[in-house]
């Protein structure tokens, strides 16, 4: 028995928090990068051209567009001097969902993450190693060591891929900001 549509609509509305504008504002990678820059500058204020130069944006109008999104979400404020500063709401954020790309295969019209193939390889290796424990313990230990090494290498490669993607959100900081 399913729930009536009105109940699901109510539940969906009830579960949406007041943080929705903040989450939506930080969905764009460049806006998130600008927000992290504002956090690194806190308690100092910063200007549009300064942010453009440090974050290597193409134009001041692009920076201004992202700053407007952050201002609407009440994460930063525009000062009377046309400079910007992080507000308490922005300072209180401790966790952010960062968009990360991952590889996928298209199989019969469905997107299948490549990690599924890695998981199936490791699961198969575990089962084979477990079976060989009873047949030939030496082969089982060699098999286990080889697949442990392979899984460690694949984990490091995955880590480096994620680290490379996260490097988009960093920039050269001045010595006095570190």
Over residues 124-175, the pLDDT tens digits come to 888 888 888 888 888 888 888 888 888 888 888 878 887 887 777 766 655 5
Q: At what angle do helices 29-41 and 60-72 cross, to 10 degrees?
A: 80
pLDDT tens by residue, 115-129: 787 788 888 888 888
Q: Do residues 162 and 100 touch, judged by C-beta distance below 8 A?
A: yes
Distance CA 87, CA 80 (A): 15
Length of the chain in residues, anyone? 178
* pLDDT reading at 110 higher than 80: no
Q: What is the pTM of this model?
A: 0.60
């Amino acid at each position: 028995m399913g729930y009536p549509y009105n109940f699901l609509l109510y539940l969906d509305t009830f579960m949406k928090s007041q943080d929705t504008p903040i989450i939506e504002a930080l969905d764009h990678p460049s806006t998130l990068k600008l927000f992290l820059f504002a956090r690194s500058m806190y308690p100092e204020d910063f200007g549009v051209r300064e942010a453009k130069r440090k974050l290597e944006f193409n134009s001041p109008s692009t920076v201004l567009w992202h700053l407007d999104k952050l201002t609407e979400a009440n994460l930063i404020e525009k000062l009377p001097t046309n400079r910007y500063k992080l507000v308490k709401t922005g300072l209180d954020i401790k966790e952010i969902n960062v968009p990360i790309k991952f590889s996928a295969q298209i199989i019969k019209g469905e997107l299948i993450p490549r990690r599924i193939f890695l998981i199936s390889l490791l699961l198969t290796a575990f089962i084979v190693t477990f079976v060989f424990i009873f047949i030939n313990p030496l082969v089982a230990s060699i098999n286990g060591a080889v697949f442990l090494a392979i899984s460690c290498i694949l984990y490091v490669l995955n880590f480096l891929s994620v680290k490379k993607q996260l490097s988009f959100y960093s920039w050269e900081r001045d010595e006095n900001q570190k």
